Structure 1
Amino acid sequence: MANVTMYTKMLCPFCSRAKKLLNEKGVEQLNEIDITMSSKRRSEMMERAGGAHTVPQIFIGDTHVGGCDELYEMERQGKLDGLLAGQT
């Protein structure tokens, strides 16, 4: 399974929703980076995400998925399983 990294904030309902879907998909190792109190981590996220400043920002392998809505859209399109399996 591909490595999954998600930038989050405390009490973020979209972050919780994205984590729920990833858990349902069998993602056991989620590298969660909380940016709530870290301007350094926020800057890192924005750089990696092409300037996006909202959370969550989700990366599967080297692919920037985007946020919660984009993650669920990938699932609706049937593309999420392949990406999680490491297929592009």
Structure 2
Amino acid sequence: MSKVTMYATAVCPYCVRAEQLLRRKGVTDIEKILIDRDPAQRDHMMAITGRRTVPQIFIGEKHVGGCDDLYALDQAGGLDPLLAAN
């Protein structure tokens, strides 16, 4: 299973929703980077994604986007293959 990294905040309903979908897909290990506790990580997230909102999700090296992007990827049938890739 591919590594999943999620830039998030401690209180974010979209982050919770995205994590729930990933858990339903069998992801057991999500590296969560809490940007509200580390401003340098927020700056890093914005630099690598060009976005300010959370969550920002990476599967392996691929930037998937936010919660809505994750759900759209799943509905299009692209999430399972991406998670299965090594």
Task: Return the TM-score normalized by structure 2.
Answer: 0.96
Give ranges in structure 1 of 5+ residues lacking alignment: none
% same residue: 50
Question: Could you say which residue in structure 1 is the equivalent of 2:6?
Answer: 6
Are 2:48 and 1:48 aligned?
yes
**In 1, distance between residues paired with 2:54 and 2:37?**
13
Q: What is the number of equivalent residue pairs in this alignment?
A: 86
**Partner AA of 1:63 in structure 2:** K
Alignment of 1:34-73 (within 5 A): 34-49=34-49, 51-73=50-72
Deviation at 1:38, TM superposition (A): 1.5
**In 2, distance between residues paired with 1:39 and 1:11?**
16
Give ranges in structure 2 of 5+ residues lacking alignment: none
Deviation at 1:85, TM superposition (A): 0.6
Deviation at 1:24, TM superposition (A): 0.3
Q: SS in structure 2 opposite 1:45?
A: helix
**In 2, distance between residues paired with 1:67 and 1:47?**
15
Deviation at 1:37, TM superposition (A): 2.4
CA RMSD of aligned residues (A): 1.0
**In 2, distance between residues paired with 1:48 and 1:32?**
16
